[in-house]
Each structure stands twice: as C-alpha cells, then as structure tokens.
Structure 1
Amino acid sequence: MPAVVDSPQPRTDSPSRNQVAWNREVTRFIEASGATTHSFGLGRLIGRLFALLYLTPEPMCLDQIAKKLKISKASASITVRQLAALHAVHKVEEIEAAGRRDFYQAELSFGVILRKGLLPGLQKKLRSAGVQIDRTLGVSPSQEDLNEAPAAISDHHKEICRRLHLARGLYQKVNALFSNPLVDNLL
C-alpha cells in the first residue's frame, strides 16, 4: 500500500515531535479513507485522493496530488475525474507564471456529495432493478399453467415469485425513502 509522502500541512526544517505525530496521523487518516472506499467497492485511490484534498485547504494540481500520494499523474487524473463525477471535488483554475493549470479542491459538504453524486447513481440502479423485477414477474406463468405443472415445478415457481415480491416491496420502500423531500432537507 503506497504511503503519503507527507501531510498536507506546511513543514518546517526540523519538525517537532507533535508535528511528526500529526503527520503520521494525517497519513493514517488518508490510508484509512482509502480502505473505507475500497470496502464500498469504490477503490482505495478514490478515498485516499479525496481525503488528501479534504485535508488540504489550498487547491492542488495533478502533479502535487501524484507526488503526495506517490502515484502517476495519469492515475491522479482518472481518479479526480471520478471524484468530480460524484461531485466530491471541483476544478479551480489558477494562473501561474508558467501558464494556466487546473487545480482541484474537495467538496466540503457531504450533503452535496450525497445529494448530487451518490444518490442519483443509486436511484438509477434501483430503478433498473425495479424494472427487471417487474419484467420478470410480468412473464411468470399464470396460476392455471402452474396447476397443470408438476408440484415440484409449481412450488419452485411460487417460491421464486414470493422472493421477487419481497424484493419489489423493498425496492418500493427504498425508492420512497430516497424520493422523500425530507432526505433533501437532512442532507
């Protein structure tokens, strides 16, 4: 697991004991953020990069991000785009003596990230699952057809339909929860 070069905090020539401890804990926080996003299936680098930007008050360019996280600039670029799609980071243009470069900052409001980034994607996936559940139930054999089928097949089909109805009920509850205006107010 790559380590962070140093903390986002400016360094002095000879760091104090407290600053060394601070840098170590910031590095642990960044690595733990990567472990958390990995456990949600988003990948470690997404969490590490977001945590780095979140803990860095100044905007950072891709070169700085790559150096701090000890990754390639291409990996930094791809991950920044993924985070931007989730509304977790935004681009800040800055003019330098060397010319224009793109810098990035973390979105500090987790409500914005949830409301604009994560929930719409989750709702889209839920709608797709709901459509598939309804499509599957829509082609299920009629009770008349099941009466003519062997008992084992009929019982098997009834159990599948029971499970699909349970899944549809859960889908409807979760969809209603995410569509509730109170969720927007909470976020």
Structure 2
Amino acid sequence: MSKKSLPTTQKQSKARLGDQIRSIADRLKQETDVQITATSRILGAAAQIAENHDQLINEVVDMVESDIDVEKQVSQKHIYTVDLLKQQFKTLRDAKAHFNLKVTSWESLANKLNAASFQTTTIQNKPQSNQGLADTNTIKGEYNFNNLEKLTVFLEPDVAELFPNSEAVNEALRFLIRVTSKNY
C-alpha cells in the first residue's frame, strides 16, 4: 500500500496548529514560572513578617520585664535621689507636676517622696459581720486571699495618676499576670 500524501495546505495548517499549541504551552510555562516566583516572594515576606512579629513580641516582653525590674528596684529601695529624679524628669516643674507636689527644690522633692515612700502600705480585710479587723489572722499578718472580699491598697501619687479607678488597676494587673505567666 502506498501512503497517501496530504495536500500541502493541510500540512501547512497542521504546522500552524502545532506552532500555536507550542506557543500556548510556552506562555503557560512562563505564567507558571511567574506564579511560582510570586508565591515564593509571598512566602518569604510572610516568613519575614512572622520573624518581625516574634522579635517585636520579644522586645515588648523585654521592655515590660525591664520596667518591672526598675519598679521592683525603686519599690524595694524606696529611696529617691536628686540624681535619679533629674534623670527621670527634664525639669523640676515636670517632676512636681508628675508627683503633684509643691516643692521649691530637687532636694525637697526627693525628701517628700522618700517620706511618702516610707509610709507603710495598708492592706485591710473587709469586716465580715461583727468580726472586725481584730481577727487573729489580720493581727498575725496571715491573709487568706481566697476569703478576701476586697483588698485596699494605697497607690503612690504617680501611679494613681495613671490608674483613675480600681477597674484600671485590676485590668493592668491581670495583663501583667498574663504576660509574666506566659514567659515562665
């Protein structure tokens, strides 16, 4: 049997059809390469965002821990010095406004703050019925915090300025508890 030869026009149309298919395949490959590159860039950006987020969280935790350490040192020492106050505030006017005190010098400000710091913080148990505060646990200083209905704490003026009511204090303390419990 002899092969029938295709007319020339059919051969040319098949060749054009093959070229068109190759052209479409090449464009699809290029688009796939572009999509792969874009996806790779997106994943790289997402990884960078995650890394930056973790770094930011760590920085915030470090700042909070640093602030807590400074606050512990200040509350443990209960001593304000002129140098410490000058480092914390630009002017005596700023310091007086912050502590809401009337003084004429850095020394008198430090003295007033130290005098206020040495006053003991009072914690009181709310009386239940006729029990009163003369309860033996209160006298010994042994508090069962599960039985406390309310706890009264006196804030220093600079702290009270930032926390206008007990809800604000409780919210801040709960946040602090959450932050510190996640880190330990």
What is the TM-score normalised by the length of structure 1? 0.25
Rg larger in structure: 2
Q: Which has the higher strand share?
A: 1
